[in-house]
């Protein structure tokens, strides 16, 4: 490491980052609703002069969850709002999104200074925590359901926030980041070439100790972590993915052996540690053949599932049970599926989300009577405004068209508002 700041690597980082990210980020439009992104000032202690932008959907759940969404290096809160799916997912599920924004010239988060790497030490993490506290006070948000996600520099900040404030954040989703402490410098530089190039390695215990040192004496529960990385990332290279897995499994007292390995979508390899369910302590998704350009389609929704926020807009009825009947019609590389959802319980279902698994190689291209997301893997079909209520003994009919690569099997593993259905 040089003993002076190195502006050239930061510049090359920004150039490569923006060329890789901007095209991917702007594929999504801002959500179509009356709600709008607004700037909040005077939100509390803010040692590094961050800006706070807030998205509150037209309809939020009681005591809504809060998601902090941190932009990439060179970006801003408004750009990350416009270019990702988190606001549209907030519309669907009723949570609030905070988009913090860096004002220093690099537009990179401070994930390297000693101040940033300890609880209440100063710099960006303190300002972000102030934003969370402001939202909790102002909107009566649930302090037990605060989450953070980010891309690139924002993914690094996700790692840092989970280390500094394990009592504030319940979980994080880091898209193409590096472990907590990996980018640490002592010379004031924002850039750590050794870490970016994937040459900083530690044992799981050493990585875990860096996290624990951020908040000495803390003995409470640790946030769950979801990690994403493309195998062809040439900005924050792929070995950082494995180092992150080592770190967060150690923080949770887990071994390096996955409890589950699967491929929920083409080119994705997912490993879960500590349990096999959607909210495992650590979940890691490797994306084959992809560079520094995450999140892309369907990934934000998968993060929301990991956080447990994708049922927030539904009202499960106690004791509700369900049955799903499926018919499919397949041809060469396509198929249609018709699903009938019957409420076999004794109370109405008011608002519903049906989850099911598509066969490998299938991709939904269109649908009717529900909204489908993501188009592959584990899909959630959310009610339309006109069929949100299913009375006892009544049914709702939905369907979709999909492509397939040879496996035209019917969907499986149905659950309605998190309750398993027979089929």
Residue percentage of the chain with pLDDT more than 90: 72
pLDDT for position 146:
96
Least confidently predicted of 65-79, 136-150, 294-308, 371-385? 371-385
Give per-residue pLDDT as tens, 285-320. Answer: 999 999 999 999 899 999 999 999 986 333 333 444
End-to-end CA distance of the chain: 60
Give per-residue pLDDT as tens, 159-188. Answer: 999 999 999 999 999 999 999 999 999 888
- Known catalytic residue: 152? yes
pLDDT for position 230:
98
- pLDDT-derived band at 21, boundaries 50, 70, 90: low
Total-model pTM: 0.70
- pLDDT-derived band at 420, boundaries 50, 70, 90: confident
Pick the catalytic residue from 113, 152, 373, 408. 152
Q: Which two tokens stand for residue 175?
A: 């898209």
Chain centroid to CA 415: 21
- pLDDT-derived band at 345, boundaries 50, 70, 90: confident
State the CB neighbour count (10 A cutoff) for residue 59. Answer: 12
pLDDT for position 191:
93
pLDDT for position 410:
93
Handedness of CA 54, 60, 64, 70 (dihedral sign): negative
State the CB neighbour count (10 A cutoff) for residue 334. Answer: 14
pLDDT for position 16:
47
The answer on pLDDT for 335 being more than 80 is yes
Query: 353: exposed, middle or buried (C-beta count within 10 Å: 0-12, 13-18, 19+)?
Result: buried
Give per-residue pLDDT as tens, 186-240. Answer: 888 999 999 999 999 999 999 999 999 999 999 888 999 999 999 999 999 999 9
State the CB neighbour count (10 A cutoff) for residue 18. Answer: 15
The answer on pLDDT for 3 being more than 60 is no
pLDDT for position 312:
38
Mean pLDDT over all residues of the chain? 89
Q: Which two tokens stand for residue 93?
A: 């599920």
Mean pLDDT over 321-342 rounds to: 93
What count of residues does the chain have?
Answer: 423
CA 378 – CA 138 distance, rounded (Å): 35
User: Helix 153-164 to helix 124-139 angle, to the nearest 10 degrees?
Assistant: 70
- pLDDT-derived band at 383, boundaries 50, 70, 90: confident
State the CB neighbour count (10 A cutoff) for residue 2. Answer: 11
H/E element holding 90? Answer: helix 86-93
Of residues 308, 277, 323, the one with CA closest to residue 423: 323
pLDDT for position 327:
93
pLDDT for position 22:
46
Where are the alpha helices (H) located in 96-227, listed in sequence order?
Answer: 124-139, 153-164, 193-196, 204-213
pLDDT for position 12:
46
């Amino acid at each position: 490491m040089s003993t002076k700041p190195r502006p050239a690597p930061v510049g090359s980082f920004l150039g490569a980052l923006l060329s890789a990210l901007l095209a991917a980020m702007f594929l999504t439009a801002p959500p179509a609703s009356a709600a709008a992104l607004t700037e909040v000032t005077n939100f509390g202690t803010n040692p590094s002069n961050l800006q706070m932008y807030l998205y509150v959907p037209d309809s939020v759940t009681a005591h809504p969850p809060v998601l902090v969404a941190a932009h990439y290096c060179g970006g801003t809160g408004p750009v990350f709002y416009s270019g990702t799916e988190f606001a549209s997912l907030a519309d669907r599920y009723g949570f609030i999104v905070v988009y913090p924004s860096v004002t220093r010239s690099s537009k990179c988060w401070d994930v390297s200074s000693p101040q940033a790497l300890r609880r209440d030490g100063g710099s960006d993490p303190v300002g972000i925590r102030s934003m969370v506290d402001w939202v909790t006070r102002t909107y009566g948000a649930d302090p037990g359901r605060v989450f953070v996600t980010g891309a690139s520099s924002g993914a690094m900040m996700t790692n840092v926030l989970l280390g500094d404030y394990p009592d504030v954040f319940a979980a994080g989703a880091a898209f193409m980041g590096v472990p907590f402490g990996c980018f640490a410098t002592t010379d004031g530089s924002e850039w750590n070439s050794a870490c970016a190039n994937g040459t900083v390695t530690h044992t799981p215990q050493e990585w875990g100790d860096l996290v624990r040192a951020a908040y000495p004496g803390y003995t409470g529960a640790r946030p769950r972590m979801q990690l994403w990385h493309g195998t062809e990332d040439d900005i924050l290279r792929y070995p950082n993915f494995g180092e992150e897995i080592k770190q967060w499994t150690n923080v949770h007292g887990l071994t390096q052996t996955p409890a589950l390995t699967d491929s929920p979508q083409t080119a994705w390899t997912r490993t879960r540690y500590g349990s096999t369910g959607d909210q495992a302590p650590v979940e890691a998704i490797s994306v084959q053949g992809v560079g520094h350009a995450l999140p892309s389609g369907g990934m934000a929704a998968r993060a929301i599932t990991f956080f447990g926020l994708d049922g927030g807009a539904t009202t499960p009825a106690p004791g509700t049970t369900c049955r799903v009947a499926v018919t499919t019609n397949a041809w060469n590389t396509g198929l249609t599926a018709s699903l009938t959802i019957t409420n076999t319980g004794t109370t109405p279902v008011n608002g519903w989300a049906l989850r099911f698994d598509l066969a490998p190689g299938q991709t939904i291209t269109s649908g009717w009577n529900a909204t489908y997301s993501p188009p592959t893997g584990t899909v959630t079909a959310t009610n339309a405004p006109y069929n949100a209520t299913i009375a006892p003994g009544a049914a709702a009919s939905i369907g979709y068209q999909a492509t397939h690569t040879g496996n035209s099997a019917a969907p499986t593993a149905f659950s309605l508002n998190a309750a398993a259905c027979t089929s």
